[in-house]
Amino acid sequence: MKKSILTVVLSVMSLWAVAQNPKLAVVSFDALGGSFDKQQLTELLRIEISKHEKYEMIDRYEIAEVLSAAKIDNTSCFSKSCLKEAGKTLEVDYAMSGSVDLLGDALFVRLRMIDLKDNTMKKEVVREYLNIPEKVNTMISICVNELLDIPNDEMIVNSLSNRESYESAVNNPYYQTLSLAGPRMGYTFFTGEMAETIRMPRNEGGYDGYPAFFQMGYQFEKQYLNEGKWQALFEFVPMVSGLDQGLFVPSFTIMNGIRNNKNGLEFAIGPSVNMSREMNAYNINNQWIRRDDVDMVGSTILLEDFDSKKVMDSRGNVTLQTYVVIAAGYSLKSGKLNIPINAFVIPSKKSLRYGFSFGFNVRK
């Protein structure tokens, strides 16, 4: 019996509390620029306010029916006088409207609440955000909290309004991701056996050149992770080297790296494949002699009896060589122009290669 009485009392108190909440009607929501759906934004505003249970909300069906009977078009009711008339027709304590305006590269969200008892503006909230249409629901939620004097999470607020704080693909997958795809050019420097071979005359298997090749190509990128200020990506770099010395040495590099979206600082590593000419060299009397340099006239020497290895030789056959490239870079910025500068090293057992490259692109 006591439990039944307590249940009834609690039910009555709950109904009384709800009845004490002032009535609020969200009449309209306007949108300027972008591809926003006004009806969805209107309902979104109603839902966000309803979550806090501070007002008795009038649903969209009742608003449409009552205002239609009074010949008031709620889809174009934005002025203060129209909101007052609509609110009085709906017999509510407060009437609201909202708007989202895309101006330049910023979104402005405005909420207005009219007090129909005093015929005054109870409160107006205006906030400027970054142009991130897919986060408009969060923007409206922030404005509703401010309208109802509910504290906001400052980290979320800053991430949507401060360019320095907002670098995440979860928040903005299209705008702030730094892409450095574009042409590349630079130089590769050779050391060790490769440098010696390049300097050698062509009749001795060399290239009669200087051990530094100009190279040019293009960098393609594919981002697969973007979180906070950093992104992870694959880089695909086809290159041609040696054109400055009458050579054509193609290569293709695939790198997996990480890059800072703010300043372009990045690190990457990955395999590289290039074409080269090679020939067997044999250890004869503790000297490595290339096959074409061995004088076989009148000799019974069998080359198969000696240790051999592959060496770079302009007279040899074309083969594919694989290496690992380790690179680091930084991007200079001038307005929308990005100028990536990279340094790289290619370690190997016989020799070491290193170099630099730079390029440019324009952020769209």
- What CATH number is associated with residue 187? 2.40.160
Residues 204, 143, single domain; the answer is no
Residues 134, 256, single domain; the answer is no
Whether residue 247 lies inside any domain: the answer is yes
* pLDDT, position 298: 39
Residues 88, 31, single domain; the answer is yes
Domain with 268 in it:
182-362
Instruction: Judge whether residue 108 has pLDDT over 60.
Output: yes
Whether residue 174 lies inside any domain: the answer is no
Whether residue 27 lies inside any domain: the answer is yes
Residues 194, 115, single domain; the answer is no
* pLDDT, position 7: 60
Residues 26, 81, single domain; the answer is yes
Output the six-digit token pair for 364.
Answer: 């769209």
The fraction of the chain above a pLDDT of 90, given in percent, is 45
Whether residue 173 lies inside any domain: the answer is no
Instruction: Judge whether residue 248 has pLDDT over 70.
Output: yes
Nearest CA among 268, 256, 258, 260 for reference residue 229: 260
> Which amino acid, residue 14?
S
Residues 123, 82, single domain; the answer is yes
Torsion of CA 25, 31, 34, 37, to 10 degrees: 40
Nearest CA among 271, 209, 277, 285 for reference residue 244: 209
Residues 144, 286, single domain; the answer is no
CA distance 193 to 313: 11
Tell me which of 102, 127, 161 is where a domain ends: 161
Eight-class DSSP state of 232: E
CA distance 258 to 251: 22
CA distance 319 to 276: 5
Output the six-digit token pair for 141.
Answer: 């939620």
Residues 186, 325, single domain; the answer is yes
**What is the per-residue pLDDT across 178-232, written as a single tens digit (0 to 9) for each?**
788 999 999 999 998 888 888 988 877 788 889 999 999 999 999 888 876 788 9
Please, are residues 278 and 311 in contact by the beta-carbon 8 Å criterion?
yes
Residues 131, 194, single domain; the answer is no
Whether residue 299 lies inside any domain: the answer is yes
Q: How many domains does the chain have?
A: 2
Tell me which of 128, 161, 194 is where a domain ends: 161
Report if pTM > 0.85.
Answer: no
* pLDDT, position 19: 53
Tell me which of 112, 129, 161 is where a domain ends: 161
Torsion of CA 210, 213, 214, 216, to 10 degrees: 160
Residues 45, 114, single domain; the answer is yes
CATH code (residue 84): 3.40.50.10070
> How deeply is 259 buried, as exposed, middle or buried, from its count of CB atoms within 10 A (0-12, 13-18, 19+)?
buried
Residues 206, 354, single domain; the answer is yes
CA distance 76 to 2: 54
Residues 151, 293, single domain; the answer is no
